[in-house]
Structure 1
Amino acid sequence: MEKKALEFARKAHGDQQRKYKKELYIEHPIRVAEMLKEIPHTPEMISAAYLHDVVEDTEVTLKQINKEFGKKVGKLVEELTDEFTKDKYPELNRPWRKKKETERIANVSSEAQSIKLADIIDNLPSISHNDSGFAKRYIPEMEALVQVLQGGNQKLWERAQEVVNKAKEIGY
């Protein structure tokens, strides 16, 4: 299942590039999955880690994820997919959308919270190092998000706290 999820994500993301790194986007979910392999995990968690951005960033739907990988993986991907996006709520400003998203993700499964923590650990350093203007907004958002992810793996939560603190020192 994990290998199938990786190949599915690789195909879905195609030639997408990371915004702040000169690498294929698929490298990000691979690093997220590798972090999860360091803690107690399930095959569904690893699969969802590979797939965590495909619904947000590609044409893939949750229906496709459920069909290809089952309801457990589908539920995790759904929990990790940002509900309060600019596309869905164009009339609402970013602070409101991020506040609502933080409230939503506080109530997702511990497995999804662990995946989200690994996602933050991988994303935050490149943003704080490469876009100080955006980092001024992004770092406090991630700090608030980490605070509500205490249901995730403790080791990842502590690493996420460290990454946020380091980003605060250099980012703004």
Structure 2
Amino acid sequence: MNSLEQRAKAFATQVHQNANQLRKYTNAPYIVHPAAVAELVRSVPHSPEMIAAAWLHDTVEDTQVTLDDIAQRFGTVVAGYVEMLTKISKGSDGNRDAKFNIDLQHTAQACPEAKTIKLADIIDNSRNIAELDPKFAATYLIEKQRQLSVLWQGDGSLYLMAEACILKGLADADIG
């Protein structure tokens, strides 16, 4: 683990812990999710900045951390990836579908490296959603299926893995 990754891991662990954030459904410490995303990104061609961004991908969205904080601590490349991975919709932007469409357009503009991280995020979040929350799984997995349409520039093997996770979840929830 290089020093950029070590710093990103330590920072993400601390800020998610300070926010008392737990993993939905399992109540595990939230950092298990960024750790899984980082490991998936590590399994394909990657840069140190991509691994750091994988650790940090939810910090701006879920804690008090700002993109400026990320840029100052980890550089503009990492901050750029995190920005591309952070939802931009606001509560006032309408219903869930309207907000999803705003965020989908934002994701569509991301670079291939950020799209690779997003694919890893989808894989980890989709793995067992059908068994943990079958009712929500329908909405969530259909959204992720739509999101795949703008992620084809990410890593091909993660794309196929994400697609397989989504299809399995839909089948497990008896939706597909």
> Does TM-score exceed 0.5, indicating one fold?
yes
State the Cα deviation string for residues 27-79 of structure 1 (Å, max 9, x = none).
Answer: 10001000111111000000000000000111111110000001000000000
| Cα distance, 1:127 vs structure 2 | 2.1
> Contact conserved, 1:79 with 1:108, CA < 8 A, in 2?
yes
Counterpart of 1:72 in structure 2 is 77
> Contact conserved, 1:20 with 1:126, CA < 8 A, in 2?
no
> Contact conserved, 2:84 with 2:107, CA < 8 A, in 1?
yes
SS of match in other structure, 2:46? coil
Counterpart of 1:34 in structure 2 is 39
State the Cα deviation string for residues 72-102 of structure 1 (Å, max 9, x = none).
Answer: 0000000000011xxx242501011112211
CA RMSD after TM alignment: 1.1
TM-score, normalised on structure 1?
0.95
2:143 to 138, 141, 147: 141
Q: Distance in 2 between matches of 1:52 and 1:93?
A: 24
Q: How many residues align?
A: 169
Q: Distance in 1 between matches of 2:5 and 2:93?
A: 38
1:61 to 55, 63, 66: 66
Counterpart of 2:110 in structure 1 is 108
TM-score, normalised on structure 2?
0.93
SS of match in other structure, 1:148? coil
What percentage of aligned pairs have identical amino acids?
41
Q: Which runs of 5+ in 2 are unaligned?
A: none
Q: Distance in 2 between matches of 1:58 and 1:152?
A: 26
Counterpart of 1:9 in structure 2 is 12
| Cα distance, 1:20 vs structure 2 | 1.5
**Aligned-partner residue type, residue 26 of structure 1:** I
Counterpart of 1:130 in structure 2 is 132
Counterpart of 1:166 in structure 2 is 168
State the Cα deviation string for residues 105-139 of structure 1 (Å, max 9, x = none).
Answer: 11100000000000000001232221112112111
> Contact conserved, 2:93 with 2:99, CA < 8 A, in 1?
no
SS of match in other structure, 1:56? helix
> Contact conserved, 1:32 with 1:50, CA < 8 A, in 2?
yes
Q: Distance in 2 between matches of 1:112 and 1:12?
A: 21
